[in-house]
Amino acid sequence: MSVIQIVLLLIVAGITGIGSVVDEAQTHRPLVACTLVGIVLGDIQTGIILGGTLEMMALGWMNVGLAMAPDTAIASVISTILVINSHQGIGEGIAIAVPLAAAGQALTIFVRTITVFFIHKADEMAKKGNYKGIERAHLLAMSLQALRVMIPTLIISLISATAVQNFLSSIPEVITRGLQIGGGIIVVVGYAMVINMMDVPYLKPFMYAGFLFAAFTNFNLVGFGALGLIAAMIYLQLKYNGQPQVAAAPAGVVFDDDDDDLDA
């Protein structure tokens, strides 16, 4: 890799690290992070395919209360770098990403524990009315999250592609195949969790129709997206019939059409 590629990868890693705690732009999601790494390394196709595969696995991963989900940021960035540089397949990428996500989970817990210090500093600055100090505390805390992904990315980027390829080739097939099967199970569980959260009875016929189209047609994802958009437009047209909705008057209120200034 060239120096420019390494610098760009560090920028991507920093953005994904911050995105994993900010959750605003979703830059830490595998589909985004893997695609960005693929663009930097000149293999966007592999980045998108690996990102889409890992996205299906991580679909049901979320932080609930104090329970931390596996880290998708570090897993997405490093697994994509290793797969592209060593010319490995998606199966090897999954085999790398799963343990990396678990390691990243422990690492982000450690970093979040350290950032508690900066939160207390921000509280002190707030009591003094020091807005600049509050900003510095937050920026330092986010910088630690960026470094959490940037440092491992830098180490992996400096390792020769031959050494990485030899390491990946030494992984037994039973492990890679087992992780692929486990990843498929995680995808099903993720879909089930999402469907359970979106349990809206009047939308279920559209979901069943989607399954039927997938089973008996050759539609791709772009076709299904367009079909879903058309179905949503038809549904809205039939429901509202193009007429603006007028709010109903509260019970017991009578409107008087006469122009009388004394009406109450």
Q: Which of 101-105, 145-149, 161-165 has the lowest mean pLDDT?
A: 161-165
Residue where a domain terminates, one of 153, 172, 191: 172
Judgement on whether residues 59 and 109 belong to the same structural domain of the protein = yes
Given a contact cutoff of 8 angstroms between Cβ atoms, the answer to whether 91 and 180 are in contact is yes
Average pLDDT, the chain: 77
| Nearest by Cα to 5 from 154, 152, 145, 144 | 154
Residue 206 has pLDDT above 50, yes or no: yes
Q: How many domains does the chain have?
A: 2
Domain identity same for 151 and 205: no
- 7-11, 38-42, 159-163, 244-248: least confidently modelled range: 244-248
Q: Distance from CA of residue 27 to its chain's centroid?
A: 7
| 228 inside domain | yes
Place of tokens 């889409």: 52
Taking 80 as the threshold, does the pLDDT of residue 38 lie above it?
A: yes
Q: Does 123 fall in a domain?
A: yes
Does residue 257 sit within a domain? no
Q: Is residue 205 part of a domain?
A: yes
Q: Convert the pLDDT of each residue in 88-137 to its tens digit.
A: 777 777 777 777 777 777 787 788 888 888 888 888 888 888 888 888 88
pLDDT at 196 over 50: yes
User: In terms of pLDDT, which residue wins out, 163 or 217?
Assistant: 217
- How many Å apart are CA 183 and CA 263, to the nearest integer? 70
114 and 163 part of one domain: yes
> Based on the domain organization, do 144 and 214 belong to the same domain?
no
Residues 6+ apart with CB under 8 A from 249: 255
* Conformation bin of residue 242: beta by default, left when phi > 0, alpha when psi is -120 to 50: left
237 and 142, same domain (yes or no): no
Cβ-Cβ contacts under 8 Å for 105 (sequence gap 6 or more): 68, 69, 70, 71
Whether residue 186 lies inside any domain: the answer is: no
What are the backbone dihedrals phi and psi of residue 2, each rounded to the nearest 5 degrees, phi first?
-80, 170
Give residue 196's Cα distance to chain centre.
Answer: 19
Domain interval for residue 229: 200-241
Q: Is the residue at 256 inside a domain? A: no
Shared-domain flag, residues 165 and 206: no
Integer CA distances (angstroms), 130 to 44, 104, 120, in order: 45, 34, 13
Q: Are residues 48 and 142 in the same domain?
A: yes
Integer Cα distance of 193 and 231 in angstroms: 24
Residues 107 and 50 in one domain: yes
CA distance 74 to 63: 16
pLDDT score of 264 = 44
> Computed from CA positions of residues 78, 35, 42, 222, in that sequence, does the dihedral angle turn out positive or negative?
positive
Residue count of the chain, please give it.
264
In a domain, 178, yes or no: no
